Amino acid sequence: MSSKMLKIAVLGGTGNIGEGMVLRLALQNLMAEGVKNEIIIGSRSKEAADEAAKQDLSELENCGFDTSRINITGNTNFEAAKAAEIIILSLRFDHVIPLLHEIREVIENKIIITPVVPMVKEGDLFVYKPPEEGSAALAIQKNVPASTKVVAAFHNIPARKLKDIAKCKAVHHALVCGDDAEAKKLVIKLTENMGCLRPLDGGPIKQANTMESLTPLLINLAKLNGLKDLGINFS
């Protein structure tokens, strides 16, 4: 990765997955040579985003990291998306399409990363419920400008593992799907530097439905077998 600073927005960054993504992205400034990324937490409320940024910096300090090299700020989802070059959607699927309409004018020629999984709870278990497009990733691609590059990634990573920044080692594989080769290559590089993941090329964006459907499976397996924080590891 070049020494050029990337501005990365995590929309919905005040939730568990969003917080984990922010912490892992922040660690790249310390763990990868030449990385100087700026992380912008997006939320419906700027105040909530500002508070989340303060909490994340405090968490990093408590774990012994030098936060003078880490730039985490908060803003509204719109302003965060406007400022960023890479946008990570860390929201429930039913909130994603309305948000894309809201930020559409500021996401031309940008990369959108989607770990979004459309699923519902039926009884005690979760069921994958893709939209008519076939996956959340394809629905997102349909609702962004043609110049916006959509990459599907991070679906099967437990939030608790992302947030456990005291253990900075590869513990799970992360599958990455996308049609734009350069965008996918950049996301794979970002993943390599996150300290807890090992990326694998998952193919074109149409393969994202397979990745998405694994998330409810992992959650159900954990519940049925008394396990926690299941992820995917290939050997």
**pLDDT attached to residue 161:** 85
Point out the residues of the chain with pLDDT beneath 50: 1-3
**pLDDT attached to residue 27:** 84
Contacts (Cβ under 8 Å, ≥6 apart) of 213: 128, 130
Cα–Cα distance between 109 and 147 in angstroms, integer? 5
Cα–Cα distance between 59 and 50 in angstroms, integer? 14
Domains and CATH numbers, the chain: 6-225 (3.40.50.720)
Closest CA to 181 of 189, 193, 173: 189
pLDDT digits 0-9 by tens, 186-220: 999 999 888 788 999 999 999 999 999 999 999 99
How would you classify the pairing of strands 119-122 and 111-114? unpaired
Name 125's bridge partners. Answer: 122
